[in-house]
Amino acid sequence: MRIAIYPGSFDPVTLGHLNIIERAASTVDQLIVGVLENQTKSPLFTADERVEMIEQVTKEMPNVSAKTFNGLTIDFARQCGAQLIVRGLRAITDFEYELQMAQTNRILAPEVDTVFFTTELKYAYLSSSTVKEVAHFGGDIECFLSPLVAERVYKKLANKNSSGGKS
Protein backbone atom coordinates (compact mmCIF):
# COMPACT_ATOMS: atom_id res chain seq x y z
CA MET A 1 0.00 0.00 0.00
CA ARG A 2 1.53 3.28 -1.13
CA ILE A 3 0.64 6.05 1.29
CA ALA A 4 1.61 9.73 0.94
CA ILE A 5 1.07 12.75 3.12
CA TYR A 6 0.63 16.28 1.81
CA PRO A 7 1.47 18.65 4.68
CA GLY A 8 0.80 22.38 4.79
CA SER A 9 -1.18 25.19 6.37
CA PHE A 10 -4.10 25.20 3.90
CA ASP A 11 -5.51 28.40 5.40
CA PRO A 12 -7.65 27.96 3.31
CA VAL A 13 -7.24 25.23 0.70
CA THR A 14 -6.94 26.85 -2.78
CA LEU A 15 -7.45 25.55 -6.32
CA GLY A 16 -3.64 25.30 -6.53
CA HIS A 17 -3.60 22.92 -3.54
CA LEU A 18 -6.53 21.00 -4.97
CA ASN A 19 -4.73 20.51 -8.26
CA ILE A 20 -1.73 19.03 -6.41
CA ILE A 21 -4.08 16.83 -4.31
CA GLU A 22 -5.80 15.45 -7.44
CA ARG A 23 -2.54 14.70 -9.22
CA ALA A 24 -0.83 13.22 -6.16
CA ALA A 25 -3.88 11.10 -5.28
CA SER A 26 -3.85 9.52 -8.73
CA THR A 27 -0.32 8.21 -8.14
CA VAL A 28 -0.76 6.61 -4.67
CA ASP A 29 -3.21 4.31 -2.88
CA GLN A 30 -3.91 6.77 -0.11
CA LEU A 31 -3.21 10.49 0.25
CA ILE A 32 -3.49 12.09 3.68
CA VAL A 33 -3.57 15.89 3.69
CA GLY A 34 -1.90 17.04 6.92
CA VAL A 35 -3.07 20.37 8.29
CA LEU A 36 -0.43 21.94 10.47
CA GLU A 37 -1.70 23.40 13.71
CA ASN A 38 0.77 26.25 13.68
CA GLN A 39 0.74 28.13 16.96
CA THR A 40 3.07 30.90 15.80
CA LYS A 41 1.08 32.11 12.77
CA SER A 42 -2.38 33.46 13.46
CA PRO A 43 -4.53 31.58 10.97
CA LEU A 44 -7.87 32.75 9.61
CA PHE A 45 -9.41 29.29 10.14
CA THR A 46 -8.91 26.81 12.97
CA ALA A 47 -7.14 23.60 12.01
CA ASP A 48 -10.43 21.68 12.35
CA GLU A 49 -12.20 24.11 10.01
CA ARG A 50 -9.38 23.73 7.49
CA VAL A 51 -9.65 19.93 7.66
CA GLU A 52 -13.42 20.11 7.20
CA MET A 53 -13.08 22.30 4.09
CA ILE A 54 -10.50 19.92 2.59
CA GLU A 55 -12.85 16.99 3.30
CA GLN A 56 -15.66 18.81 1.52
CA VAL A 57 -13.68 19.72 -1.60
CA THR A 58 -12.18 16.22 -1.89
CA LYS A 59 -15.34 14.27 -1.18
CA GLU A 60 -15.34 12.84 -4.72
CA MET A 61 -11.82 11.48 -4.18
CA PRO A 62 -12.17 8.25 -2.19
CA ASN A 63 -8.45 7.81 -1.45
CA VAL A 64 -7.99 11.31 0.02
CA SER A 65 -8.45 12.15 3.70
CA ALA A 66 -7.37 15.04 5.91
CA LYS A 67 -6.25 15.40 9.50
CA THR A 68 -4.48 17.88 11.73
CA PHE A 69 -0.95 17.42 13.00
CA ASN A 70 1.58 19.08 15.23
CA GLY A 71 5.34 18.91 15.31
CA LEU A 72 7.65 17.33 12.78
CA THR A 73 6.36 16.36 9.34
CA ILE A 74 8.37 13.13 9.40
CA ASP A 75 6.71 12.10 12.69
CA PHE A 76 3.33 12.66 11.04
CA ALA A 77 4.49 10.64 8.02
CA ARG A 78 5.53 7.78 10.30
CA GLN A 79 2.25 7.87 12.24
CA CYS A 80 0.39 7.61 8.93
CA GLY A 81 2.64 4.79 7.68
CA ALA A 82 3.54 6.99 4.70
CA GLN A 83 6.55 6.44 2.45
CA LEU A 84 6.14 9.77 0.65
CA ILE A 85 5.79 13.45 1.46
CA VAL A 86 4.13 15.46 -1.31
CA ARG A 87 4.93 19.13 -1.81
CA GLY A 88 4.00 21.60 -4.50
CA LEU A 89 6.49 23.83 -6.30
CA ARG A 90 5.29 27.12 -7.68
CA ALA A 91 8.27 29.27 -8.56
CA ILE A 92 12.00 29.31 -7.96
CA THR A 93 11.29 31.10 -4.68
CA ASP A 94 9.73 27.90 -3.28
CA PHE A 95 12.68 25.82 -4.40
CA GLU A 96 15.38 26.74 -1.91
CA TYR A 97 13.16 26.31 1.13
CA GLU A 98 11.63 23.10 -0.17
CA LEU A 99 15.03 21.61 -1.01
CA GLN A 100 16.34 22.44 2.46
CA MET A 101 13.33 20.82 4.11
CA ALA A 102 13.47 17.74 1.90
CA GLN A 103 17.19 17.25 2.60
CA THR A 104 16.68 17.71 6.35
CA ASN A 105 13.76 15.29 6.40
CA ARG A 106 15.79 12.78 4.43
CA ILE A 107 18.51 12.82 7.08
CA LEU A 108 15.95 12.50 9.89
CA ALA A 109 13.89 9.81 8.16
CA PRO A 110 15.71 8.11 5.25
CA GLU A 111 12.78 5.75 4.71
CA VAL A 112 10.48 8.66 3.78
CA ASP A 113 11.01 10.39 0.44
CA THR A 114 9.77 13.82 -0.71
CA VAL A 115 8.17 14.16 -4.12
CA PHE A 116 7.40 17.47 -5.82
CA PHE A 117 4.59 18.34 -8.16
CA THR A 118 5.10 21.46 -10.23
CA THR A 119 2.16 23.81 -10.18
CA GLU A 120 -0.29 24.13 -13.01
CA LEU A 121 0.88 27.38 -14.65
CA LYS A 122 -2.41 29.18 -14.00
CA TYR A 123 -1.93 28.62 -10.24
CA ALA A 124 1.75 29.57 -10.13
CA TYR A 125 1.09 32.83 -8.31
CA LEU A 126 -1.67 31.55 -6.08
CA SER A 127 -1.19 31.28 -2.32
CA SER A 128 -3.56 31.22 0.64
CA SER A 129 -2.09 34.47 1.91
CA THR A 130 -2.71 36.26 -1.42
CA VAL A 131 -6.31 35.05 -1.38
CA LYS A 132 -6.82 36.35 2.17
CA GLU A 133 -5.33 39.70 1.24
CA VAL A 134 -7.56 40.05 -1.84
CA ALA A 135 -10.64 39.05 0.19
CA HIS A 136 -9.73 41.43 2.99
CA PHE A 137 -9.85 44.36 0.55
CA GLY A 138 -13.14 43.19 -0.96
CA GLY A 139 -11.71 41.63 -4.13
CA ASP A 140 -13.18 38.67 -5.98
CA ILE A 141 -11.66 35.38 -4.76
CA GLU A 142 -13.92 32.96 -6.61
CA CYS A 143 -11.36 32.28 -9.32
CA PHE A 144 -8.88 31.05 -6.70
CA LEU A 145 -11.07 28.84 -4.48
CA SER A 146 -13.83 26.25 -4.65
CA PRO A 147 -17.21 28.00 -4.25
CA LEU A 148 -17.82 26.55 -0.79
CA VAL A 149 -14.37 27.64 0.42
CA ALA A 150 -14.87 31.15 -1.01
CA GLU A 151 -18.19 31.31 0.84
CA ARG A 152 -16.48 30.32 4.11
CA VAL A 153 -13.79 32.99 3.65
CA TYR A 154 -16.39 35.73 3.07
CA LYS A 155 -18.35 34.58 6.13
CA LYS A 156 -15.27 34.39 8.33
CA LEU A 157 -14.12 37.87 7.34
CA ALA A 158 -17.62 39.28 7.89
CA ASN A 159 -17.71 37.70 11.39
CA LYS A 160 -14.27 39.03 12.14
CA ASN A 161 -15.22 42.53 11.08
CA SER A 162 -18.47 42.50 13.03
CA SER A 163 -16.71 41.26 16.19
CA GLY A 164 -13.93 43.83 15.85
CA GLY A 165 -11.41 41.21 14.72
CA LYS A 166 -11.82 39.05 17.82
CA SER A 167 -12.89 35.77 16.15
Phi and psi angles of residue 69, each rounded to the nearest 5 degrees, phi first = -150, 160
With CB under 6 A as the contact rule, which of the stretches 47-55, 66-74, 83-91, 99-107 interacts with ligand ADP?
83-91
Left (φ > 0), alpha (ψ -120 to 50) or beta: where does 62 sit? Answer: alpha
Q: Applying CB under 6 A, what is the total number of residues that bind ligand ADP?
A: 17
How far apart are CB 33 and ligand ADP at their closest, in Å?
A: 9
- Of 58, 105, 119, 146, which one interacts with ligand ADP (CB under 6 A)? 119
127 binds ligand ADP (CB under 6 A): yes
Contacts of 113 (CB under 8 A, 6+ apart): 83, 84, 85, 106
Site for ligand ADP, residues 40 to 59, rule: CB under 6 A: none
Taking the CA atoms of residue 68, residue 48, residue 37 and residue 33 in that order, the dihedral angle to the nearest 10 degrees is 40
Least distance to ligand ADP, CB of residue 152, Å: 16
Q: Is 10 in the site for ligand ADP (CB under 6 A)?
A: yes
Residue of the chain from 28, 82, 88, 112 that contacts ligand ADP (CB under 6 A): 88
Residue 17 engages ligand ADP in binding (rule: CB under 6 A) = yes
User: Does the footprint of ligand ADP cover residue 16 (CB under 6 A)?
Assistant: yes
- Residue from 50, 90, 132, 152 binding ligand ADP (CB under 6 A): 90
Q: Does 69 bind ligand ADP (CB under 6 A)?
A: no
In a 13 Å sphere around the CA of 57, the CA atoms on its Cβ side amount to 26
Kindly list the residues in this chain that would bind ligand ADP in the complex (CB under 6 A): 8-10, 14, 16-17, 20, 87-88, 90, 94, 119, 123, 126-129
